[in-house]
Amino acid sequence: MYILGIETSCDETAASVVTRDSDGLPQLLSNVVLSQIDEHSEFGGVVPEIAARAHLSALDQIINRALDEAHLGLSRIDGIGVTSGPGLVGGLMVGLMTAKALSASRNIPYLDVNHLEGHALTARLTDNVAYPYLLLLVSGGHSQIVRVDGLGTYTRLATTIDDAVGEAFDKTAKLLGLGFPGGPNVEKAAKKGDADRFRFPMPLRGQQTLNMSFSGLKTAIRTQAQKLVPLSGQDVADLCASMQKTVAEILANRCQRAMEQCEGIDILVVAGGVASNSEIRQRLDELCVQHDYSLIAPPLELCTDNAAMIAWAALERFEQGEKSEMNLAPRSRWPLDGSTESVIGSGRKGAKV
């Protein structure tokens, strides 16, 4: 079974082809990603309208490149997986309509895929990880700890009550004049900094909840930066290093407590764009060694948004006989664990967790 994946949920236009080999092991045949960093950099963030137009102009070519790299024609494709949420609706519409058109014209099934499920299952593509496992999903829009017991069986143990960790990186980069994309630029600056110069708060640490909060950290960085104005290059590097160390400690603390609650699991998977941060990976690796866990972190190119994870999630669901109808609409919000209520906003005054 050859599956074509399409990803257009934010600012990467991507296509990929995956399959299984004769032994049933995952095979990544192609993975093409076109970044839109240049289109959005002058605005300091992703502009939805620009992103949608860029997807529309590039997607056909990206799909053709993915097929060429896989040495397959469209006639060999058995199914199409496409991100239909969560994400920016304009971009989702481009990918979804393209998948529907290919499905109708070639008479092959297509399947809508939850972008978060793509991240959640990436380790099964790259490392053939068996269920169950613990997932730390950290990106620009999400910060969650999820217990993964099987395909479609997800239990959210923790989330952020305000900013996602990736958003905190982006806003810190913007505050310090490091530009877009924020996460990689903060990590680059941090390599020249002293991570022990500043002690930033770790919100919610010591409380019963496993949830996370990053807005207070962001405020603390702004307050410290204002005290140092005008900032030197070393000041910026030290702020980035101290911030990055604090985030790594927060995530490790929450994962440790989640491990203590999850009997019968000895694998921690970290996924999402922030999973590419080397400081965070190192801290999580240390944690896993201490608790006899195995840490699985995908290759850097599969941490950020990509179509390989979408194609793989679709393949697993196609194998269960699933497919989508033509009247499907994109979803800007689509929780991985639909049974757990959102707590976004609980960090604001007067709100409740």
| 21 occurs within a structural domain | yes
Same domain, 135 and 116: no
pLDDT at 348 over 50: no
| 37 occurs within a structural domain | yes
Same domain, 156 and 199: yes
| 338 occurs within a structural domain | no
Q: For 25-74, how does the pLDDT look when each residue is reduced to its tens digit (9 = 90+)?
A: 999 999 999 987 777 777 777 888 888 999 999 999 999 999 999 999 99
Average pLDDT, integer, range 130-153? 94
pLDDT of residue 344: 56
What the block records as the tokens of 217 is 């950290």
Same domain, 183 and 34: no
Q: How many helices (H) does the chain have, and how many strands (E)?
A: 10, 10
| 343 occurs within a structural domain | no
Q: Give the total number of structural domains in the chain.
A: 2
Same domain, 266 and 296: yes
| Reported confidence tier of residue 352, pLDDT bands at 50, 70, 90 | very low
pTM of the model: 0.92
- Grouping H, G, I as helix, E, B as strand and the rest as coil, residue 112 is strand
Q: For 330-346, how does the pLDDT look when each residue is reduced to its tens digit (9 = 90+)?
A: 999 999 987 777 665 44
Same domain, 116 and 246: no
**Which H or E run includes 150?**
strand 143-150
Q: Which residue has the higher pLDDT, 341 or 225?
A: 225
Which residues form the domain of 68?
3-121+304-318
- Grouping H, G, I as helix, E, B as strand and the rest as coil, residue 192 is coil
Q: Contact 27/19 with Cβ under 8 angstroms? A: yes
Mean pLDDT of the chain: 92
| Reported confidence tier of residue 182, pLDDT bands at 50, 70, 90 | confident
Same domain, 115 and 140: no
Q: For 81-131, how does the pLDDT look when each residue is reduced to its tens digit (9 = 90+)?
A: 999 999 999 999 999 999 999 999 999 999 999 999 999 999 999 999 999
What is the C-alpha separation between 226 and 63, in angstroms, rounded? 47
Same domain, 21 and 135: no
Same domain, 231 and 293: yes
Same domain, 265 and 308: no
pLDDT of residue 49: 87
pLDDT of residue 349: 35
What is the C-alpha separation between 135 and 270, in angstroms, rounded? 6
| 345 occurs within a structural domain | no
Same domain, 44 and 66: yes
Q: For 262-299, how does the pLDDT look when each residue is reduced to its tens digit (9 = 90+)?
A: 989 999 999 999 999 999 999 999 999 999 999 999 99
What is the C-alpha separation between 214 and 236, in angstroms, rounded? 19
CATH number at residue 115: 3.30.420.40
Same domain, 147 and 286: yes
Same domain, 17 and 57: yes
Average pLDDT, integer, range 221-249? 97
What is the C-alpha separation between 322 and 341, in angstroms, rounded? 26
pLDDT of residue 42: 72
pLDDT at 18 over 50: yes
| 181 occurs within a structural domain | yes
